[in-house]
Structure 1
Amino acid sequence: MSTKPQRALSSASVVPPGIRAQSEHLSLVATMPAVFSVEECERIVAIARAHPGSQGTVDARADAADPIRRSTVRFLNPEPASEWIFARLDQAVTRLNAAYAFELQAFAEGVQIASYTDGGHYGWHADLGPGAFSRRKLSLSVQLSPDADYDGGDLEFLVSRDSAARSQGALIAFPSFLVHRVTPVTRGERWSMVSWIAGPPFR
């Protein structure tokens, strides 16, 4: 697991939003609208722009990106200037996990801010993987860009047939084993914030 600063989750109990059932199948994708305001989304993007970006990779390799992915990423770790972001995500996770009932422990990898433009995409993949990635249990994605700012760039899920909300500030949560993708951005720029909540590996 990453040696970067970790932030433990709170243990408050809040009523969950529930997991939706669609078209006679159980959806494992949950959506919470307006978790962040428009102004807060803009603030997060501004914070990210102040950090140097790097080419997104598929796993821990830093030498070259796999063709499956094309995006620019920046990482924010828990510190006084970003604590409000983690606190807001913590509140959402507490509500969501009342439905998922996963054994969760911490934001072990901080948050990743990604920007996609000019064909930027991320092909089919799962966030859960070997080694350090085996502790990823719940994936979070926050839409930071207004829907009208870009075309394409849809977050889609393979088995569940869900397409994620595009509204600015919405949080989409799903088990890290769920295969998903970001379709190519054909116009404009899409910004998103992703975090993985860690716990003991699934058994």
Structure 2
Amino acid sequence: MLLHIPAVLAPGTLRELRSRLEAADWSDGRATVGPQGAQVKRNRQLRADDPVAIELGARVRDAVLRHPQFFAAALPLRVLPPLFNRYEGGGEYGMHIDGAVMRQLGSELPLRSDVSSTLFISEPDEYDGGELIVADTYGEHEVKLPAGDMVVYAASSLHRVTPVTRGARLASFFWTQSMVRSDAQRGMLFELDQTIQRLRAAHGDTAEVTALTGHYHNLLRMWADT
């Protein structure tokens, strides 16, 4: 599933993040990946232990978890603290796949990366290039969203970021372990949930809407791992 979630961050929050990130202490992004990833990664990141990254990451996480579409799509069990990256001056990240198991800084508890998320902080007209390209069985999909919008996709997808040839691309990114391991099952549950919401808005809580809601929760009960 590849999903565009609009307006995750309010304009005021977005402006504050922009201001804080512009003055932040950025490091070489290759320090956070293994030898294979380091060959194709050219960007800068805030260190996970940077106080600015910790503070702003908590604000992003709170906003994301309040968004009903994110919850419906990701069905989050655990969410790693959001990180921040910056692409400029030809910076790019070649085709790669995210690690299957990750750990939060200071924690020994592993997290299975089921869902990847990128929250755009720069407006698309502020930079050239920098598209997130996500590959699946239907081909490659190009993503470049307005500031404050987010894309959610299966962490098992091959993906890349094209070179940024003008300006700077700021973004936040993070991974989620879902209650439902299968991307196909999460996709079905999301479509069913959104259909129920539309029917409820149009017709109220009819007997048919109640029945579909029951099917949704029974499928979630069958597939969820908590």
Does TM, scored on the shorter chain, surpass 0.5?
yes
Letter in 1 for 2:45: V
User: What is residue 158 of structure 2 aligned with on the other side?
Assistant: 179
- 2:66 maps to 1:95: no
% of aligned pairs identical? 22
Alignment partners' CA distance in 1, 2:144 and 2:130: 11
Distance apart, 1:140 and its partner CA: 1.1
Q: Which has the higher contact order (CA 8 A, sep 6+)?
A: 1
Residues 1:34 and 1:179: Cα distance change in structure 2 (over 3 Å):
same
Match of 1:57, SS state, is helix
Aligned to 1:158: 135
Cα shift at 1:41: 2.2
Residue in structure 1 matched with residue 61 of structure 2 by the alignment: 86
Q: Retained in 2: the 8 A contact 1:31–1:165?
A: no
Asked if 1:36 corresponds to 2:5, the answer is: no
Matched, 1:115 2:86: yes
Counterpart of 2:117 in structure 1 is 140
Question: How far apart are residue 200 of structure 1 and its match?
Answer: 7.5
Q: Name which one, 1 or 2, has greater alpha-carbon Rg.
A: 2
- Uncovered stretches (5+) of structure 2, i.e. residues with no partner: 104-109, 183-226
Q: Which residue of 2 aligns with 1:106?
A: 78
TM-score, L = length of structure 2: 0.64
Q: Would the aligned equivalents of 1:58 and 1:69 in 2 still touch at CA under 8 Å?
A: no
1:190 corresponds to 2:190: no
Partners of 1:126 and 1:64 in 2: CA distance: 10
Q: Which contiguous aligned blocks of 4+ residues in structure 1 show a shift greater than 6 angstroms?
A: none
Native 8 Å contact 2:42 2:91 kept in 1: yes
Q: Deviations over 1:64-115 (max 9, x none)?
A: 97130111101423x5x754322111123x5334245x5x32223x111111
User: Which whole-Å CA distance do the structure 2 matches of 1:125 and 1:91 have between them?
Assistant: 30
Query: What secondary structure does 2:30 align onto?
Result: coil
Aligned residues: 169
Q: Measured at CA, do residues 152 and 56 of structure 1 come closer, stay the same or move farther in structure 2, by a change above 3 Å?
A: same
The 8 Å contact of residues 57 and 64 in structure 1, kept in 2 or not, is answered as no
Aligned equivalents of 2:9, 2:146: Cα separation in 1: 11
Residue equivalent to 1:125: 96
The corresponding residue for 2:221 is none
Residue 106 of structure 1 aligns to which amino acid in structure 2?
R
The structure in which a higher percent of residues are helix is 2
CA distance in 1, matches of 2:39, 2:154: 24
Q: Give 5+ residue unaligned stretches, structure 1.
A: 1-27
* TM-score normalised according to structure 1 size: 0.70
